[in-house]
A and B are shown apart, each in its own frame.
Chain A
């Protein structure tokens, strides 16, 4: 602001210097007198004195008591007549050959404005700072309290209350997102835990029964003298039980392996059509023995990337179940085809039977481990067949669908459609 004033003064002085050069001291005196006369409000001060200190022209009586700034700049305060108190002026002095010239401007208003501005800015920033601090404090308190809520909930969960969930406030902000993500995670963990508990219970049931049978048989055998023939029979029964246990164990291991998602290194292109024909051929004698018609419908070039052994085992389990549950004179169809979808056709493996089927409300349950829908568990098997199929399906990015074959059960493995370009990871 001062610089602007100085610049206008400097410009004026420039003009006055030229006048002095052209017209001499008297010409300059005249001009100063004119300009001073025009200053009724005393906004500008002009003063020209000779080298003895006598006033030549100007609207100030005497050279003011001025504070000298650098390079001829001066600052002073005077109280002009008719003014309400002292006013500050900023000016420049010029040393001429035989005189001194002062040109100054009233900067009182400008300085006031400046002071007001500085005050306003100072106050403004001060207020802003205060409100900022308060606001930040409130904000952080609010955030901390929300984090605290999450903390408290997780602590309760850690203490074993797995059913607890973090409150979602419904504001749709990041905290809500975090809370609902955490809740989804907890949901999944709880489901897995429940699943594990169920599996443990079922293992306990399915392994404990043959184990205790095995043990009591051996203990009873040890109690009394037995002839070699009986001993042999007992031992053979024991071996048969052990074999059943190993089979259950192996099935569990296969499921665990499929669920761990390993073995991709050994994946190859598997022709599902050939697989269907192979398994049909493998099971045809068994089906014939039970008077069930076993057909294979194999479309050409139904190919997926996968583990041939696991896919075969899945299909074997499905065929096995289908034959087991179909009545005499029934029909089991193994099919490899493409499912017409919006995009590229998806490879599909389907086993349909004419057995009792599974009612819709039990279909999800049927995929769980050790679940055998016949309550008396009369048919042989360990209840792991379908859950292995499910695990194999998941390993291969396929979905397992149970549907009504009217009558009977229709189980489909729908694989992801292969990408347009032939890549290793289908």
Chain B
């Protein structure tokens, strides 16, 4: 699933590394080094996702996003910033950004977040208020708060339920530990211990222990993904 990505980043070296990394991961990347150029490219071409640095010469990142949104462009935007406090995050999201990533970041984090954003942009992937989520032989009934695998009922704690729900909403997609902590617990910081691993291993006990194949996959150096092993790309 290759994406067309526009990177608007004034640091040439950082932009080049990012572009190379994204291309290595099979994506199609365009790069702009200032806000004006980026805005023109974004308006002229059809991208799946934009990566916009907040600090840009000429036109700053937030203005680029605001201008795009004002012209009805709904392309998902990941805001990249060296400023990481809550106010800045809120400003970035208010300007029309869809996600916010603070430098320095892990590349796997960037890729995972971009993929999550494009999935969200695709109609049908997370269509409307679906009451049932399904992946492989796993079913989650959101209203009855019921989870079944191969027709067999699985009892989950509320937080395990929420964790599985997030995984089910992003099937075959890498979710980093930070993303899970953010989406399941609404915490945006790095705990000193990888507390998410313990929660995933608990969930695995219930989802995968008595069934084949295991669905919760560990993606080395990145995070976790709900994926049938054969399909692993």
Contacts and interface: CB of A to CB of B under 8 A. Distances in A.
A313 B104 contact: no
Contacts of A278: 185
Contacts of A38: none
Contacts of A281: 159
Which size bracket describes the interface of B in this complex? 20 to 34
Interface in B195-210: 195, 198-199, 201-202
A60 B87 CA distance: 107
A276 to B, nearest CB: 14
Contact of A312 (B85, B90, B189, B221): B189
Contact of A266 (B90, B193, B201, B202): B90
Interface in B171-222: 185, 187-193, 195, 198-199, 201-202, 220-221
A236 B221 contact: yes
B85 A250 contact: no
Contacts of B44: none
Given A266-B86, A285-B202, A313 B221 contact: no
B87 A317 contact: no
Contacts of A249: 104
A320 B189 contact: no
A246 interface: yes
Interface residues of A, number: 35
Contacts of B87: 262-263, 265-266
Chain A contact residues: over half helix, strand or loop, or mixed? helix
Interface in B133-176: 159
Contact of B84 (A236, A253, A307, A382): A253
A87 to B, nearest CB: 96
Interface in B49-98: 84-87, 90
Nearest to B184: A282
Nearest to A321: B192
A175 interface: no
Contact of B185 (A236, A282, A285, A289): A282
B193 to A, nearest CB: 5
Given A246-B104, A285-B202, A309-B187, A317 B192 contact: yes
Interface of B: 84-87, 90, 104, 106, 159, 185, 187-193, 195, 198-199, 201-202, 220-221
Given A263-B86, A313-B187, 20 more contacts: A236-B221, A239-B106, A247-B192, A249-B104, A250-B190, A251-B190, A254-B189, A257-B85, A263-B87, A266-B87, A278-B185, A282-B159, A282-B185, A282-B199, A285-B195, A285-B199, A286-B195, A286-B198, A316-B191, A380-B192
15 contacts: A236-B220, A247-B192, A250-B190, A253-B84, A257-B85, A263-B85, A281-B159, A282-B185, A285-B199, A309-B86, A312-B187, A317-B192, A320-B191, A324-B193, A381-B192
What are the nearest 7 A-B pairs in CB distance? A285-B198, A266-B86, A313-B189, A286-B198, A320-B192, A246-B104, A316-B191
